[in-house]
Amino acid sequence: MSPDFLPPHRCQGTVAAPVSFTGRGLHSGRRTEVTLLPADAGRGLVFRVSPKKGASTDIPARWDQVRPRPLCTCLAAEQRQIRTVEHLMASLYGCGVDNAVIEVRGSEIPLLDGSAGPFVDAISQAGIHKQNAPRRRLRVKKTVRVSLGKSRAQLHPGPGLVLDVTGGLGGFPAMRWKGTMNRQVFKRQIARARTYGHLVHGLQAKIFTFSLPNPLCLGASLDNAVVAYRGRVLTPGGLRYRNEFVRHRVLDLMGDLMLAGGDLIGHLNCVRPTHELNRLLLERLFADEAAYAWV
């Protein structure tokens, strides 16, 4: 089909105007500035990491640029890295942004309120420019399975993206989210689910990783995370959704799946998904050329 006759949801998109965010990172606790810039069709999503001194480094937002870091998705190239990209990547999915240059002054994406909501709101306000090019779609052709400890995922062929995700937090009942995923569903049901964790685990992470090159949870607080202690939520206002924990797992999953480089078409079942499991799933999928097709 000619791009001139494509429906809007099948066209590539970029931000209609620059969009900026400022805030502290979940793990580093440092203040970071991020600006989304429009990009040509076919460019994809690229993080441009600018240090205080020296030249900037472009890091493509792809699964093969992921480096192992605890409790986040980290992209790296040429000795530079950008941590905690998953919430912003999920927001770009929800808003239909396929092409953008993401300028970052710092080494981590700001956490903001712990969800994708503030990113989605700002990008939506700036507007999306539809581009005269078809959006890339990745169709699953055969079943792919991965497991990592207690976490596991199975990706099956299917006519659209359907998710069945189970997860939660120790001390609380297991939670589940199941349904067809698209951009409207993401913005309505998933975008505002916040990151979460146990108070004791967060404090231990702060104390024991404070002096390490990649510290953990230094920027976490009751203002930007759902903090739990002994089976109850300490964060003022409580949960935004009865199953907010698993909804945030879905948010992280969608951010990580954006690293495939196109919209996934298939049915995905996940139990306790993690960033490492999500990366492993994409790695396993792309390792078998018979398992997928670009359409």
Q: What pTM, to 2 d.p., does this model score?
A: 0.96
What is the mean predicted confidence (pLDDT) over 192-200?
98
What confidence category does residue 3 fall into, taking pLDDT thresholds of 50, 70 and 90? low
Tell whether the model's pLDDT for residue 51 goes beyond 90: no
> Which residue among the candidates 27, 87, 267, 275 is catalytic per the annotation?
275
What confidence category does residue 5 fall into, taking pLDDT thresholds of 50, 70 and 90? low
70-116: pLDDT as tens digits: 999 999 998 899 999 999 999 999 999 999 999 999 999 999 999 99
201-253: pLDDT as tens digits: 999 999 999 999 999 999 999 999 999 999 999 999 999 999 999 999 999 99
Instruction: For 38-50, give one letter per residue: b (16+ CB within 10 A) or e.
Output: bbebebbbbbbbe
Residue type, 230: R
Greater model confidence, 53 or 196: 196
β-bridge mates for residue 196, sequence order: 226
146-191: pLDDT as tens digits: 999 999 999 999 999 999 999 999 999 999 999 999 999 999 999 9
Domains of the chain from N-terminus onward: 9-294 (3.30.1700.10)
First-to-last alpha carbon distance for the chain, in angstroms, is: 11
**What per-residue confidence (pLDDT) applies to 54?**
77
265-282: pLDDT as tens digits: 999 999 999 999 999 999
> Nearest-CA neighbor of 59 among 17, 101, 110?
101
d(C-alpha 53, C-alpha 51), whole Å = 5
| Catalytic (active site) residue 248 | no
Query: Within 10 A of 71 (CB to CB), how many other CB atoms are there?
Result: 18
What is the mean predicted confidence (pLDDT) over 37-60?
93
